Chain A
């Protein structure tokens, strides 16, 4: 019963490099989300998806792209990493229905040098 799995768990990049963070959920949830967590700022929504093949911008989308080609996977891409993108990234999923909470992965700790 894995829930939400994020890979990798840690990564160090140099400025200008690109990478993709993978989120996989095995609960057949329709909605998936990418957040970043920075000290004192809570969670800020980067992008989200309300179903396979759909994506939408969140609060802080600049510098990131996403894709949801399969219902169970939600990919977050950094095309040209910047030090300001050093953060902890969390993926979450939720089923449809107003009373349903989100389920979170354990995060990816990303450092941009």
Chain B
């Protein structure tokens, strides 16, 4: 069965410092991995994805993610955090057999000035 784990409920970082939000996955077959961001009272917005190819993928708002097949991880990163990056972040994996997406429980990112 497909599953996604986000081991941290909350990540705190100072503005200007690098940030990492962790995600590990379990899939049968090739992983199709996604990161989404959710701002208060809004729906999820797509940030970036890994389908195949380069292990470092770049997305919106300066975010990037590193795919590591041996560690089954897909961590979200940003070199320099902004206060406006404070939001809820979700990792997801797509099950191509049933056209479903499985989401992690979410990580709240707090960036302090």
Measured CB to CB, the residues of A under 8 A from B are 4, 31, 33, 35, 40-43, 45, 48, 50, 56, 58, 90, 92, 98-99, 101-107
Measured CB to CB, the residues of B under 8 A from A are 9, 32, 34, 36, 41-46, 49, 51, 90, 94, 96, 98-101, 103-106
**A8 → B minimal CB distance (Å):** 14
Whether B49 lies near A104 (C-beta < 8 A) is no
Whether B51 lies near A31 (C-beta < 8 A) is no
- Residues of A within 8 Å of B101, CB to CB, are 33, 45, 102
Residue ID in chain A nearest B4 by CB atoms? A42
Whether B45 lies near A104 (C-beta < 8 A) is yes
Whether B106 lies near A42 (C-beta < 8 A) is yes
- Complex: A31 Cα to B51 Cα, angstroms: 19
- Which of B44, B51, B96 contacts A102, CB < 8 Å? B44
- Complex: A35 Cα to B41 Cα, angstroms: 15
29 contacts across the A-B interface (CB closer than 8 A): A31-B99, A33-B101, A40-B9, A41-B105, A42-B90, A42-B103, A42-B104, A43-B103, A45-B100, A45-B101, A48-B99, A48-B100, A56-B98, A58-B100, A92-B43, A98-B32, A98-B51, A99-B32, A99-B51, A101-B34, A101-B36, A101-B46, A102-B44, A102-B46, A103-B46, A104-B43, A105-B43, A106-B43, A107-B43
